[in-house]
Structure 1
Amino acid sequence: MNIVAEIENENMKEKAPKFKIGDLIDVHVKTIEGEKERIQIFNGTVISKKGSGNRVTFTVRRVVQGEGVERVFPLHSPNIVEIVVKKSHKVRRAKLYYLRDRKGKSARLKEIRRRVKKTDKTEKAAPVVAAEKPVEATEAPAETATAPKAKASAKAKVEKKDEKS
């Protein structure tokens, strides 16, 4: 194996986050200012992915105060702490460079609604949800006890209106 390839494979992240073109993501980037180190969040839409192996980069675009801002991040950079996918959008292109020319509503992408698949874990979680419902049921009689009073007061108001006319 090539020596350069071996060194590159050492620097690759074990679990690279999975996201697609058109996804709305938050990129948590480690920034160093003087002696202080902090995490800065850059959120936006992924408009391109390039490269392969250790050299994969992706471009994120967002609009700040009417101006488009794009940043290119290396996927396996040690400065990228976390990538969080907020929403997924349906796109039919590999690169979304056409969004650069668009503003406002014309720059919107169609959102994909994710469906929850039934698995063994969700079926096991169902009894826990059922256990929570009786707790809500104990609160319900207190509300229904006040409901007849509200109905009685409403009837009294209607009767007073009828007497006045």
Structure 2
Amino acid sequence: MANQEDINKKLQQVTENGEHISPILPSGIKNYLIDIDGTICDDIPNEEPERMATAEVYPDALDTLNRWYDEGHIICFFTSRTEEHRKVTEDWLKKHGFKYHGMIMGKPRGGNYHWIDNHLVKATRYRGKFTDLIEKEVTIQVFDDGKHDI
């Protein structure tokens, strides 16, 4: 795997006609979007922001995400916390040593997410422990193109 500095340079240097465009991930590099509350730490609702600074980290999440980062993968937190919670969240991530590239605030709360993209998207539901990911066959919803040849 490429080192993280090389990955960061490639991601920042993508231009077209002198304009910055979305970066292209190098082969073998994954782009992880990861929830925070209830996934890498205690599940803290936005209505209790005073607890965010003292949330207990899930050690397996810290170890796994930092390993993925060190392997060159992109780590972006996608959280239901709002912009007013950004500073406490960034401070908490730094305090616990999480390595990451970015954070998107304001993910709608609920639990019925459906990502539609023209690229392959993989989704993994967190069920209490970060481990290496494995391949597993599951049923998914797809657009009906009339062919039904998945």
TM-score clears 0.5: no
Kindly indicate which of the two structures has a greater share of residues assigned to helix: 1
Query: Per chain length, whose mean CA-contact separation is higher, i.e. which structure has more relative contact order (CA < 8 Å, sep 6+)?
Result: 2
Of structures 1 and 2, the larger Rg is shown by: 1
Kindly indicate which of the two structures has a greater share of residues assigned to strand: 1
